Amino acid sequence: MKKITLALLSVLLITALGGCKSTTPQTADKNVKPALMWFDAEANFERFSHPDSIDYYLTKIKSLGFTHAVVDVRPITGEVLFDTEFAPKMREWQGYERKDFDYLGHFIKKAHELGIEVHASLNVFVAGHNYFDRGLVYSTNPEWASVVYTPEGMTSITNEKKKYSAMVNPINEDFRTHILNVLKDLVKRYPDLDGLMLDRVRYDGISADFSDISRQQFEAYIGQKVEKFPEDIFEWKKDSNGKYYPERGKHFLKWIEWRTKNIYDFMALARKEVKAVNPDISLVLIRVPGILPIMKWESTLPRTSMTRVKILIGLLRNTKTMDMQN
């Protein structure tokens, strides 16, 4: 049975978006709380391959009181749903081929006619779908894939078939250049786009990234060699019930601090470069609760770590952050 991912999140009332750029009297009204509807790229690929389908559902969500359409234009494969020289365009999904038309441009035109804002959603630190062995880490850039530390040892995330997202190493410079070019070109090509929503701006949980690049840069950050890697970060142990848990090593807190800094540095750079193209565009970071429970570490982090964490949170607040429940 086909699923319409229009209903993926139901109604989201996001007060953090109250200061976003507004293109319509409806969203400019301070008494109207923003209500967002997500249009997933993959689940809706066939359904929204026709302009009249886009028109129909935009009209429908308008009648239901939605103020923002969030259009997924970079799914987890790393392909995109707009023309750009910096990434391959998704023209087919699960056997269905889409006729070539300006997908995002049509969303923007029709939504603005209805008084709805359009925000493009992009999955950032991911470039592959592990369930289908599809995406940039499978086709052209396997070196981007995160190296994950599992109880069984080190492996590429593309081997972790229980995970559908093939996440990348956030500090891979080649990938960072790639994704920044995608973001900037998107904003340049669509000057009427109201905003960007960045998803998966994170590591793949505690198990990533344990590549040689990460080790080298972490050692440079702390100014010393890590004698036992990854055990000096953490080591997988079994509890009394036979379940694995990460036992912290002597560099664990510094490791968390360093990872936080890496995400902070990327977000600062992304915000700077995107705003250089379009200073008025809204930039929102999507944070899924439970993925990065930073504040749970507050009581155990050293002062320097908490400073980094608070700076990161401050940056995200300035960028606008929203929580998305599963």
pLDDT at 293 over 60: no
Q: What is the DSSP string of 26-67?
A: HHH-TTSPPEEEEE-TTTTTTTTSSHHHHHHHHHHHHHTT--
What is the pLDDT confidence band of residue 32, given thresholds at 50, 70 and 90? confident
- Residue 209 has a pLDDT of 96
- Secondary structure of residue 214 in the 3-state scheme: helix
Q: Which of 248-257, 263-272, 287-296 has the lowest mean pLDDT?
A: 287-296
Instruction: Report whether pLDDT(313) > 70.
Output: no
CA 16 to chain centre: 18
Cα gap 103→90, rounded to integer Å: 11
Lowest mean pLDDT among 25-29, 110-114, 119-123, 211-215: 25-29
Residue with the bigger pLDDT between 66 and 291: it is 66
Average pLDDT, rounded, for the chain: 83
**Which of these ranges, 11-20, 115-124, 194-203, has the smallest mean pLDDT?**
11-20
- The CA distances from residue 215 to 70, 116, 143, 191, 227, in Å, are 37, 46, 15, 40, 11
Domains and CATH numbers, the chain: 5-131+166-204+259-323 (3.20.20)
Banded model confidence at residue 100, pLDDT cuts 50, 70, 90: confident
Quote the CA–CA distance of 146 and 152 in Å, as a whole number. Answer: 16
Q: Measure the CA–CA gap between 95 and 301, rounded to whole angstroms.
A: 49
What pLDDT is recorded for position 87?
Answer: 98
Specify the pLDDT at position 96: 83
- pLDDT higher than 50, residue 16: no
Residue among 189, 15, 7 nearest 85 (CA): 189
Q: d(Cα 119, Cα 115) in Å, to the nearest integer?
A: 13
Residue 218 pLDDT greater than 80, yes or no: yes
Q: Which of 34, 38, 39, 37 is nearest to 14 (CA)?
A: 34
> What helix, strand, coil percent values describe the chain, rounded to 5?
40, 20, 40
Contact call for residues 114 and 55 (beta carbons, < 8 A): no
Q: What type of residue is 89?
A: K
**Locate tokens 């509890």: which residue?**
239
